[in-house]
Amino acid sequence: MLSVLISLLLTLRGIMRSRAALHLEVLALRHQLQVLQRSRPRRLHLAKADRWLWAWLSRSWNAWRTVLVIVKPETVIAWHRQGFRLYWTWKSRRRTGRPTLDTDVRALIRTMVDANPLWGAPRIHGELVKLGLAVSQATVAKYMPRRTTPPSQTWRTFLANHVHQIAAADFFVVPTATCRLLFVLVILAHERRRVVHVAVTDHPTAAWTAQQLREAFPWDQARVI
């Protein structure tokens, strides 16, 4: 008796499923017929509601491809993907975000930047933490005013300002006719590319190099900067 009842329930369930599939098939065919009648004799035109209907049918009915005539199945799948992207774009839209920083704290950040042009966001963030202000380093960097000029002189400006006090040294090896190796130290002044000092040795040491520097720049001729 129980097996007969189970078989009857499964039969009724199959009938219900087939009736639902039949109704969906009728709906799909009638919709396509309406679209064709609406577009005749012009080019086939599908509204957004038509696309949403077929996107829903592709998810709700497994046999939707068998009755599709007016467009390709790939087109319906593309409509469904587009709707999926639009849904998640709407779902992940920005609503409130972080609360804005108080006006007093923003003014304090600008004041600290103006008074200390060499300070960056980490240093200013550390000073604000010392004051008991719970502000992240990213927020400090966001509200720091952007500088139009660098906080210090450029490397080119530094070289131009100190060219009279800068020298270049080169240590290289020279082979001799008797297959010996001599080590040559040349010191040039950047001001006029003038040779300041030249020394040669076959056994260079740190003490020898220090002595050559003392001879190249004696104390009685050194400039006080």
pLDDT tens digits for range 119-145:
888 999 999 999 888 888 888 888 888
Q: What's the mean pLDDT in 105-111?
A: 89
Q: pLDDT tens-digit profile of 176-212?
A: 888 889 999 999 988 888 898 999 999 999 999 999 9
Q: pLDDT tens-digit profile of 16-68?
A: 556 677 677 777 777 877 777 676 656 667 788 888 887 888 888 787 787 77
Q: What's the mean pLDDT in 1-19?
A: 53
Q: In angstroms, rounded to a whole number, what is the distance separating the alpha carbons of residues 142 and 9?
A: 67
Does residue 146 or residue 178 have the better pLDDT?
178
Q: With b meaning 16 or more CB within 10 Å and e meaning fewer, what string describes 7-37?
A: eeeeeeeeeeeeeeeeebbeebeebbeebee
Position 146 scores a pLDDT of 78
Position 185 scores a pLDDT of 94
- pLDDT exceeds 50 at position 2: no
Position 224 scores a pLDDT of 44
pLDDT band at residue 4 under the 50/70/90 scheme? very low
Q: Of 31, 39, 89, 34, which Cα lies nearest the Cα of 56?
A: 31
Q: pLDDT tens-digit profile of 72-93?
A: 888 888 888 888 888 888 877 7
Position 93 scores a pLDDT of 72
Position 225 scores a pLDDT of 41
Residue with tokens 């999926």: 84
Position 96 scores a pLDDT of 62
Task: Please state at what angle helix 103-115 crosses helix 121-130, rounded to 10 degrees.
Answer: 120
The answer to whether the beta carbons of residues 44 and 35 sit under 8 Å apart is yes
- pLDDT exceeds 50 at position 152: yes
Whole-structure pTM over 0.85, yes or no? no
